Amino acid sequence: MALHGGIRSWARETGLVYLLYFLTAVAGQALLSKGFSLAGAVTNFASVALYILVGILLYRLFRPTSNVLSAIAALFNFAGSAMTLMALLHNGNAPVSPLLFFGMYCLLIGILILRSGFLPRALGWLNAAAGIGWFLFLAPLHIHFLPVAIEILGFVAEAVLMLWLLLKGVEEQKWLGRGGPGSRAVCAS
């Protein structure tokens, strides 16, 4: 994806891919729940492919903040996506829960947002909290409302980030100041 019209436009395109991920993930689950197993499986595979693309796009977006941390976050996205694909191929069974990787991914995205300066800090805190929530989700806690609250938090955190990118993009001057392409600043990792 080229930087057509600047980073703000490119960030909005990232938000659009994020939205497509959300829509296909929901559609895949809806199709499966209605008994359309082949269509649901294909749609779920498409949603995983879109989430991998989101990971690549967010890596590129946050690379000026920290190349290393952004790359590590992308690797957690890929690992979680690989576990999700394994679960899809093996009737819901994966060697490790994808949430272990997606929890770390959300936490790292939250940290990158907090460090970036070109997105609102509230988005960073929300995504970091969602990441921690996914770890709690995996814990053997016996509080019956907690899993639902964590799922809602995770959905809201990623949905708000997606909507922000889609509608607002990023503060272009601050992104360029972090060392994005076209700037003279050096990116510190």
- Domain assignment present for 28: yes
pLDDT at 1: 43
pLDDT tens per residue across span 63-115: 999 999 999 999 999 999 999 999 988 877 888 889 899 999 999 999 999 99
pTM: 0.84
- Domain assignment present for 185: no
- Domain assignment present for 106: yes
- Domain assignment present for 149: yes
- Domain assignment present for 182: no
Host domain of residue 146: 7-177
Phi, psi torsion values for 6, nearest 5 degrees: 95, 175
Q: Tokens in use for 147? A: 């899993």
- Domain assignment present for 46: yes
Q: Number of structural domains, the chain? A: 1
- Domain assignment present for 152: yes
Helix (H/G/I), strand (E/B), else coil: 127? helix
> Looking at residues 127-147, what average pLDDT do you find?
80
Crossing angle (nearest 10°) for helices 7-33 and 37-62: 160
Q: Tokens in use for 69? A: 């941390």
- Domain assignment present for 186: no
Which of the 8 DSSP states describes residue 119? S
23 vs 43, 52, 146, CA distance in Å? 10, 15, 25
Which of the 8 DSSP states describes residue 1? -
